[in-house]
Amino acid sequence: MATFIGTSSTEEIKSKVDIIDLIQEYVQLRQAGTNWKANCPFHSEKTPSFMASREKQIWHCFGCGEGGDIFSFVQKIEGLEFPEALRLLAQKAGVQLPTFNPELQTKKTQMLDVIKAASQFFATKLREPSQGKIAREYLQTRGVSDETIDDFGIGYAPDAWDQLNTYLIQNKISVQDIFQAGLTIKRERGDGYYDRFRNRLIFPLRDVHGTVIGFGGRVLAADDQGAKYINSPQTLVYDKSGYLFGLDSAKHEIRNTKLAVIVEGYMDVVASHQAGVTNVVASSGTALTDRQVRLLKRFTDIVALAFDADLAGEDASRRGIDVALRGGLEVRIITLSHGKDPDECIKEDLEAWKKAIASAQGIMEYTFARAVRGKDMSTLAHKKEVTRTVLQALTRIPDPIEQTHYLQKLAALVRVEESILRDKLASLQKTQSPSIRPAQQQPMSERPQKDRYQSLIERLMAFFVFRPDLAVEVTGSAAEEMIPEGRMRDLYKQLLISYTSEHNDTAETVVSLLSSKYPGLKEFVAVLLMKAEHEFSSLGEDDFIRDLQQTIAEVRLLYYTRELTKIAEQMSEAESKGDESAMTRLSTRHSELSEKLAHLQE
């Protein structure tokens, strides 16, 4: 971690941001003794090897080797540079950083500063008696309270060509920075730029942490010929395909209810949150994307879709369902009994909105209900139509048990043998587009996992840290040469010195000594102790000793095997060069190791 910012700010942030609370915003952790564990978010695995410690405020994956503190976690999972991670965590901790510190400036953080200034401009304009009147009156007609306006940071872009541009320039922001933040458009004729948002209600687009990364603007004038909504273009900090409006406010309730309600428009989210139903986010009128699904998976495995249009006839909505299912989300469909959209439903009957969410149907139940509506199931044509619709939906369901359940239901409905429907389903699955075929989530990019020997050495050192009183047992069986050079061997030496010279025979005394004398090993020792506490705390003495002996035996076996392979290669090279001296030396060493290996395998 970079330290050029100064330790005071970083230490204050660390004291205010708990690592478990932070990680749980991204990963679903499960408590394991005093530590917490999960499947690693940085590499694909079936057995959890990612560990985090509230006591030590560190995290480590024993599968891929990644680890660190709150800063390194945010850098890794968000793809940020250190200054960006520092600013994000400072905001979360409520720590004030220097406003104009060049060390904290990257292209992204610079752009966020520009967007923040624009957000403040829009909020101020909404409250101006004359200019903001049209926007305030519109919000009043839509029933949006002053508190909600403040909560969402809603603003107003004046009906003028360059008020925002002029304001930002006066605040010493360059024309180019304003343009790159997506706030202005270059004139087609002549020089200069004009404001992208004009005479529009402004919705700040906040990322999951609450940082404004762009804007959405709704038209206000009835005779405006422009698009009803326009958004910021794609920039360094905003990408529509990976954004969900309102997630910063909804994430905690989504986690609590284990459900994310997805609507189309900004006003749907605003109205629902104002009414107290806060696990609601908007996809901004587009089909769900893979990136949005991955974002949702941080908080829940279940989504309920409440789009304005009839889902059965909307291809975009179906693509959203396909993407959600492919990403491992359970999909439910909300059917509104009042109004054409959630905003209207809430205004007409709030309880109807709550009931619609509670009674949302699973995708297949919804498909059956829509397919048979208005159909005469005694006619062949309608039977075939319903069968096509249901089987097409079933191609998206990867679970064979669930598929069988609905095949049986369809067979009873249309009075056709299940085997015939199964054959038809198999035929459809072969011909369907790969883009909608159920599939396993794509594996995450990762660095190669540790090999077996590296994992065993790490386990051996965890034994050593956890029970330094067994130092003789370890060192008498696993020689120093077996420990890879680097911090592993450094730690091995210091642990041995600590026990043999200073008679420190408990984990606490050894860790305390090493932390004070050898600060470079402090975090590494803490990681090993976390591993040991998780893996060894429940073992009785006999099982512990047996496990230790098995680990030592496997370390020695792999070490001798690897060394013999290496020596054989060196002997071949020496022979080709006619180096008799090297051949004699290597042959002797080969015989020694072969004898040790044979003895070990007896």
Residue 289 resides in a domain: yes
Please tell me the total count of domains within the chain: 5
Contact 50, 39 (CB under 8 A): yes
Are 119 and 43 members of one domain? no
pLDDT at 478 over 90: no
Cα of 267 vs its chain's centroid, Å: 27
Lowest mean per-residue pLDDT among 325-334, 406-415, 522-531: 522-531
Are 532 and 577 members of one domain? yes
Q: Residue 508's pLDDT is what?
A: 67
Average pLDDT over residues 305-316: 56
Residue 2 resides in a domain: no
Distance CA 360, CA 512 (A): 56
Q: What CATH code is carried by the domain that includes residue 33? A: 3.90.580.10
Pairing type for strands 260-263 and 302-306 reads parallel
Q: Residue 174's pLDDT is what?
A: 96
Lowest mean per-residue pLDDT among 6-20, 109-123, 471-485, 532-546: 471-485
pLDDT at 405 over 60: yes
Residue 447 resides in a domain: no
Residue 281: count of CB within 10 angstroms of its CB: 29
pLDDT at 383 over 50: yes
Q: Residue 484's pLDDT is what?
A: 85
Please give the structure tokens belonging to residue 531.
């591993």
**Which residue carries 């395909």 as its tokens?**
241
Choose between 446 and 188: higher pLDDT. 188
Give the confidence band of 103 by pLDDT, cuts at 50, 70, 90. low
pLDDT at 319 over 70: no
pLDDT at 552 over 80: yes
Give the confidence band of 442 by pLDDT, cuts at 50, 70, 90. very low
Lowest mean per-residue pLDDT among 214-218, 344-348, 488-492: 488-492
Are 277 and 350 members of one domain? yes
Q: Residue 313's pLDDT is what?
A: 38
Are 456 and 586 members of one domain? yes
Average pLDDT over residues 72-83: 88
Q: Quick one: what percent of the chain has pLDDT higher than 70? A: 87
The per-residue DSSP string of 192-228 comes to -EEES--SEEEEEEE-TTS-EEEEEEEE--TT--S-S
Residue 521 resides in a domain: yes
Choose between 388 and 102: higher pLDDT. 388
pLDDT at 519 over 80: no
pLDDT at 596 over 90: no
The per-residue DSSP string of 28-76 comes to --EEETTEEEE--TTS--SS--EEEETTTTEEEETTT--EE-HHHHHHH
Are 258 and 330 members of one domain? yes
Q: Is 62 exposed, middle or buried (0-12, 13-18, 19+ CB in 10 A)?
A: buried
Average pLDDT over residues 256-263: 95
Residue 210 resides in a domain: yes
Give the confidence band of 468 by pLDDT, cuts at 50, 70, 90. confident
Which domain covers residue 158, as residue numbers?
Answer: 106-238
Question: pTM of this prediction?
Answer: 0.71
Average pLDDT over residues 91-100: 78
Average model confidence (pLDDT) across the chain = 86
Residue 443 resides in a domain: no
Choose between 404 and 307: higher pLDDT. 404
pLDDT at 344 over 50: yes
Residue 567 resides in a domain: yes
Residue 436 resides in a domain: no
pLDDT at 444 over 90: no
Question: Which strands form 200-206's sheet, in the order they lie side by side?
Answer: 155-157, 200-206, 212-219, 229-231
Distance CA 522, CA 540 (A): 28
Are 205 and 267 members of one domain? no
Among candidate residues 394, 397, 396, 395, the one with its CA nearest the CA of residue 410: 394
pLDDT at 170 over 80: yes
pLDDT in tens, 292-305: 998 998 889 999 99
Average pLDDT over residues 588-593: 89
Are 294 and 342 members of one domain? yes
pLDDT at 309 over 60: no
Choose between 63 and 71: higher pLDDT. 71
Average pLDDT over residues 86-101: 81
Indicate the helix (H) or strand (E) that contains 155: strand 155-157
Q: Which residues, including other chains, have CB under 8 Å from residue 92's CB and lie 6 or more apart?
A: 17, 22, 209
Distance CA 185, CA 226 (A): 15
pLDDT in tens, 133-166: 999 999 999 999 999 999 999 999 999 999 999 9
Are 139 and 174 members of one domain? yes
Average pLDDT over residues 520-541: 81
Give the confidence band of 25 by pLDDT, cuts at 50, 70, 90. confident
Domain boundary among 194, 209, 238: 238
Q: What CATH code is carried by the domain that includes residue 351? A: 3.40.1360.10
The per-residue DSSP string of 382-424 comes to HHHHHHHHHHHHHTT---HHHHHHHHHHHHHHHT--HHHHHHH
pLDDT at 446 over 60: no
Q: Residue 525's pLDDT is what?
A: 81
Cα pseudo-dihedral 269, 275, 279, 283, rounded to 10: -10
Q: Residue 440's pLDDT is what?
A: 43
Average pLDDT over residues 408-413: 94
Residue 469: count of CB within 10 angstroms of its CB: 14
Are 110 and 32 members of one domain? no
Q: Residue 510's pLDDT is what?
A: 65
pLDDT in tens, 46-61: 888 899 999 889 999 9
Contact 209, 88 (CB under 8 A): yes
Average pLDDT over residues 378-407: 91
Contact 271, 299 (CB under 8 A): no
Choose between 297 and 497: higher pLDDT. 297
Choose between 10 and 127: higher pLDDT. 127
Q: Residue 22's pLDDT is what?
A: 94
Contact 217, 195 (CB under 8 A): no
Q: Residue 439's pLDDT is what?
A: 44
Q: Residue 258's pLDDT is what?
A: 93
Torsional class of 81: left (φ above 0), alpha (ψ -120 to 50), beta (otherwise): beta
Q: Residue 495's pLDDT is what?
A: 74
Are 576 and 468 members of one domain? yes
Amino acid at 305: L
Domain boundary among 238, 263, 283: 238
Are 343 and 377 members of one domain? no
Domain boundary among 359, 389, 422: 359
Q: What CATH code is carried by the domain that includes residue 213? A: 3.90.980.10
Distance CA 304, CA 297 (A): 13
Average pLDDT over residues 166-179: 96
Choose between 440 and 142: higher pLDDT. 142
Contact 153, 212 (CB under 8 A): yes
Q: Quick one: what percent of the chain has pLDDT higher than 90? A: 48
pLDDT at 93 over 50: yes
Average pLDDT over residues 571-600: 88
Are 470 and 348 members of one domain? no
Average pLDDT over residues 320-329: 86
Q: Residue 100's pLDDT is what?
A: 52
